[in-house]
């Protein structure tokens, strides 16, 4: 079965320090990978996406993610955390296939930023 | 600006009642989706629709119904058969099958009282 694993349910960092949110997915030919962010009681906003172009993907608000096929990982990073980054982050995979319309969501990582 | 509008933002339902959640998009996207979000469980797909007048069940369709009479609209009805309807409901849309991502609405929080 297709799956996405976010390795940490909660990550806490100090403001100004690096952020690392980890995501592994089950292997498949040509997956599309996404990171979304959700602030409390809000919808999901797309941070970045990998769709078989460059393996290092730059997104909004200074976030990046690197697609590593050999490790089946797509970890999200940011060099310096800001208070406004505190939110829940979802790693999402879309597997290719005829008529494949479904996304597979990780269970989310809640990021806390300490002043 | 183009986007997805969900209404209402908060909804309260008495046990045994049906309620309908609205989702409208002006992005000209073909596909639309309904997800349910519960704490610690990520998002689970209820229904999706690829084109007008067609829709498919997702992973947790029991107790829910949808319609797609117009490209812009994909309302979700939570019926009295849904035993645990209290949740946050998110509507989304995509170009084609969503290989470049989905656009999400801001959600409706449904509470059974």
Number of neighbouring beta carbons within 10 Å of residue A46? 17
Put simply, whether A106 touches B (Cβ < 8 Å) is yes
Of B42, B58, B90, the CB nearest to A43: B90
**If DSSP codes are grouped into helix, strand and coil, which group holds residue A62?**
helix
Distances (CA, A) of B57 to A65, B35, B47, B80, B94: 32, 11, 5, 18, 17
Q: What is the pLDDT of residue A104?
A: 87
Q: What is the pLDDT of residue B100?
A: 80
pLDDT digits (tens, 9 = 90+) for B50-78: 999 999 999 999 999 999 999 999 999 99
Mutation site for A-interface testing, chosen from B68, B99, B108, B109 by largest number of A Cβ within 10 Å: B99
Torsion of CA B1, B4, B9, B15, to 10 degrees: 160
| pLDDT over 90 (residue A108) | yes
Yes or no: say if A63 and A51 are a contact pair by the CB < 8 Å rule.
no
Nearest to B92 by CA among B21, B10, B34: B34
Yes or no: say if A75 and A18 are a contact pair by the CB < 8 Å rule.
no
Label residue A97 by pLDDT band (50, 70, 90). Answer: low
| pLDDT over 90 (residue B1) | no
d(CA A51, CA B26) in angstroms, rounded, equals 25
Mean pLDDT of B96-111: 90
Determine the distance in angstroms separating the CA of B89 from the nearest CA of chain A, rounded to an integer.
9
pLDDT digits (tens, 9 = 90+) for A4-19: 999 999 999 999 999 9
Q: B97's torsion region: left (phi>0), alpha (psi -120 to 50) or beta?
A: alpha
d(CA B88, CA B10) in angstroms, rounded, equals 9
Distances (CA, A) of B75 to A36, B47, B49, B101: 24, 11, 11, 21
Q: What is the pLDDT of residue A5?
A: 95
| pLDDT over 60 (residue A98) | no
| pLDDT over 80 (residue B40) | no
| pLDDT over 80 (residue A35) | yes
Interface contact flag, A51 B99, Cβ < 8 Å = yes
Average pLDDT, chain B: 93
Mean pLDDT of B35-39: 92
Put simply, whether B27 touches A (Cβ < 8 Å) is no
Mean pLDDT of B39-46: 86
| pLDDT over 80 (residue A29) | no
Number of neighbouring beta carbons within 10 Å of residue A20? 12
Determine the distance in angstroms separating the CA of B15 from the nearest CA of chain A, rounded to an integer.
23
Q: Which residue's entry shows tokens 């406004």?
A: A84
Mean pLDDT of B45-54: 94
d(CA A30, CA B32) in angstroms, rounded, equals 23
Per 3-state DSSP, chain A is made up of helix, strand and coil in percentages (nearest 5) of 5, 50, 45
Mean pLDDT of A45-57: 88
């Amino acid at each position: 079965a297709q799956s996405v694993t976010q390795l940490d349910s909660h990550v806490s960092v100090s403001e100004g320090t690096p952020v690392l949110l980890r995501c592994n997915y089950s292997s498949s030919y040509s997956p599309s990978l996404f990171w979304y962010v959700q602030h409390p009681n809000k919808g999901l906003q797309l941070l970045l996406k990998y769709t078989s172009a460059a393996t290092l993907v730059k997104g909004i608000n200074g976030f990046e993610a690197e697609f590593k096929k050999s490790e089946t990982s797509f970890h999200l990073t940011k060099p310096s955390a800001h208070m406004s980054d505190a939110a829940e982050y979802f790693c999402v995979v879309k597997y290719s296939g005829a008529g494949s319309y479904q996304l597979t969501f990780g269970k989310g990582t809640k990021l806390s930023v300490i002043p | 600006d183009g986007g997805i509008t969900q209404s209402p933002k908060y909804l309260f339902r008495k046990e045994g009642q049906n309620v309908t959640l609205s989702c409208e998009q002006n992005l000209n996207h073909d596909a639309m989706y309904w997800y349910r979000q519960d704490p610690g469980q990520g998002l689970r797909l209820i229904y999706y629709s690829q084109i007008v007048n067609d829709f498919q069940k997702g992973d947790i369709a029991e107790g829910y119904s949808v319609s797609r009479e117009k490209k812009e609209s994909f309302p979700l009805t939570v019926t009295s058969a849904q035993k645990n309807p209290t949740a946050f409901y998110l509507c989304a849309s995509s170009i084609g099958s969503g290989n470049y991502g989905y656009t999400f609405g801001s959600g409706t929080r449904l509470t059974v009282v």
